Chains A and B, each alone.
Chain A
């Protein structure tokens, strides 16, 4: 890649952070509360630590090949055939992540803001935006990621209002949930924090002086995302009694609805507006990586515009095909297993191989 089109480590922070913050802001609480209960916030913190381990592994692998693209690193480490196969695995993974994001975007908007609007139409709006943005290169995305990051302090201040009517006693006793419950929560939190694994591809698109700069930035992005998710979990826990929490699908949206400042009676609409932006930037990042993986699989023989058009059309039809909560659960279960391969197994495998090929890598 032309060095001028590469992003800086400063940009990388926004890219990774915005990829990590997405649908989880709304869906995470219920998913983690089921196994971990009041200790859900601990699960997120531990999940962030596990994500950090994966960041170390990815960074440890890619830093050995500073001038190569990620696909070239795959070829170098496992050969051309398997390298292409790994690209396919990641393309499927990114496709699945975008479908899940599109689905939840449509579902949440349909439930809370646009109840009469058909689900497919909301998904179509999301798909159209992806169609427009995925054609651009990464540097063009960075400004949008930067603007989106400005929303985060606003989001935190917004939810600080919850402390006016909160009850810290709902957090206690912290010892109530078993270690097993907390660990199950860690598993869920790890997947909600996904986005850090894109370092595998974005590191090669970053112009850096020393690899440690990239590690610092990726760590800081992961820390920011983990703390934001933890904050939202704590806010949720202190705002609802435990018997009440199990009744809400998206307690954080309901919480926004209970705010009273005076100018509006429906703060959930304002919150969901901010959330939509964050979800979209996360989808944009995954969609960008997805289309580039596909282009790579076809050895750059097909133009990116064509790939984007066909991919987005497929994303749209698959998403509207998942029209029930049962199907999305099945799809998410598949995503988890596929994610374990893409996020944990492959980076670990590449890292181990890179240890043996260290000498060759240094020569390259």
Chain B
């Protein structure tokens, strides 16, 4: 009896592993995926890009990229077709970047995010980015500098997030904000530079709920918006106009104060945003450095005015796109629920008037 029980116990343990085994040698593990509307406009086209080791005559393993492309009427069909093309199956658990055609994103953003969120074997930490044009073109770049396009794209996104010139848009975060009635997503958007055949950052696309508004915020404005969102990176901000042209700052400290007023008789809610930036100032001009000593220096005033003006443009663009990237609605739901109840849940952002004020404090000069 004991032997029989032991046999059943052992077989059950081993059997449990048999059903879900994965032969990694044969499996296709893509790191980058592109998805776009197909040429007819009635279905989708996708590309899954993965590394493939190649044996050389010297026996050294080299890597190349392999692309599996597929068409389908919906995401499920698309994926089934890809699975059929890959003999060992496709494992999306290492998918780091999903590149979406911005036209596709205008109509199928929600469906796509939901599919990646609820699919069992996908990574929730993969990034979502848009490209201006077709991902199949953007991922087909061939250049001596870019032998492996998947490496190039993943490194570009990783360093962009690390240096805070693009926001972290992992699937889990995008899904969370997409379903949050008090906040909207901003998605990094790229284009392929015609001259160099490399990707260039266009900035961020502004979303309104599940809808891609089609409005893009420039990289310079994106960096300032991200400072308002509390992201301090290692990005060096170049000053490209005015008296301080050619100099630059490195933001080290960010402090944001939000003040919510009452809804006035016109139905407008005034919100004051006071952003304090502690920066390292870099200049190649000795006179500028000399003037920076002491509190309330002229440069600090110039910088404060310059960034306040830029912030007004940023929030003006967000207002036109009805994109609440900062989560003003979330603040209202959490801390001012009575005010929130008086606003239209779908279009509350159009009733909010944001008054940004940026105060730049130079902590140190070069």
In the assembled complex, B290 has its CB within 8 A of some CB on chain A: no
- CB-defined contacts of A259 to chain B, threshold 8 Å: 125
In the complex, residue of chain A having the shortest beta-carbon distance to the beta carbon of B175: A244
Give complex CA distance A308, B185 in Å: 56
Asked if B5 contacts A115 (CB within 8 A), the reply is no
A-B CB contacts (within 8 Å), total count: 89
In the complex, residue of chain A having the shortest beta-carbon distance to the beta carbon of B118: A247
Stretch of A65-73, A86-94, A166-174, A317-325 that contacts chain B: A166-174
A176 to chain B, nearest CB (A): 7
In the assembled complex, B15 has its CB within 8 A of some CB on chain A: yes
Give complex CA distance A46, B16 in Å: 40
The B interface is mostly helix, strand or loop, or mixed, namely helix
Asked if A173 contacts B181 (CB within 8 A), the reply is no
Give complex CA distance A216, B289 in Å: 67
Asked if B13 contacts A169 (CB within 8 A), the reply is no
In the complex, residue of chain B having the shortest beta-carbon distance to the beta carbon of A260: B125
Asked if B179 contacts A115 (CB within 8 A), the reply is no
In the complex, residue of chain B having the shortest beta-carbon distance to the beta carbon of A128: B9
In the assembled complex, A300 has its CB within 8 A of some CB on chain B: no
Asked if A115 contacts B20 (CB within 8 A), the reply is yes
Stretch of A118-126, A193-201, A327-335 that contacts chain B: A118-126
Residue in B1, B16, B179 whose CB lies within 8 Å of A241 = B179
In the assembled complex, A116 has its CB within 8 A of some CB on chain B: yes
**With A172-B334, A257-B124, A265-B123 in contact, is A241–B177 under 8 Å at CB?**
yes
Asked if B12 contacts A121 (CB within 8 A), the reply is yes
- CB-defined contacts of B330 to chain A, threshold 8 Å: 167, 169
In the complex, residue of chain B having the shortest beta-carbon distance to the beta carbon of A116: B19
- CB-defined contacts of A165 to chain B, threshold 8 Å: 172-173
- CB-defined contacts of B16 to chain A, threshold 8 Å: 114, 117, 121-122, 125
In the complex, residue of chain A having the shortest beta-carbon distance to the beta carbon of B125: A260
B299 to chain A, nearest CB (A): 35
Give complex CA distance A113, B93 in Å: 13
- CB-defined contacts of A298 to chain B, threshold 8 Å: none
Residue in A121, A239, A243, A254 whose CB lies within 8 Å of B15 = A121
In the assembled complex, A111 has its CB within 8 A of some CB on chain B: yes
In the complex, residue of chain B having the shortest beta-carbon distance to the beta carbon of A264: B93
In the assembled complex, B111 has its CB within 8 A of some CB on chain A: no
Enumerate B168-187 residues with CB–CB distance to A below 8 Å.
Answer: 170, 172-173, 175-177, 179-181, 183
Asked if A244 contacts B176 (CB within 8 A), the reply is yes
In the assembled complex, B331 has its CB within 8 A of some CB on chain A: yes
Asked if B20 contacts A113 (CB within 8 A), the reply is yes
Residue in B125, B175, B176, B177 whose CB lies within 8 Å of A265 = B125
B170 to chain A, nearest CB (A): 7
**With A172-B333, A244-B180, A265-B125 in contact, is A258–B9 under 8 Å at CB?**
no
Task: Please indicate which of the listed interface residues B1, B180, B331, B335 has the most CB atoms of chain A within 10 Å of its own CB.
Answer: B180
Asked if B335 contacts A172 (CB within 8 A), the reply is yes
Enumerate A173-191 residues with CB–CB distance to B below 8 Å.
Answer: 173, 176
Asked if A258 contacts B172 (CB within 8 A), the reply is yes
- CB-defined contacts of B333 to chain A, threshold 8 Å: 169, 172-173
- CB-defined contacts of A125 to chain B, threshold 8 Å: 12-13, 16
In the assembled complex, A112 has its CB within 8 A of some CB on chain B: yes
Can you sample 21 A-B contacts with CB below 8 Å? A116-B19, A117-B20, A124-B12, A125-B12, A125-B13, A125-B16, A167-B327, A169-B334, A169-B335, A171-B334, A172-B334, A176-B337, A241-B177, A241-B179, A241-B180, A241-B181, A257-B124, A258-B170, A260-B125, A309-B1, A309-B5
Question: 12 new A-B pairs (CB below 8 Å) besides A118-B19, A241-B180?
Answer: A111-B120, A114-B16, A125-B13, A131-B9, A167-B327, A167-B330, A173-B337, A244-B175, A258-B125, A258-B170, A265-B125, A309-B1
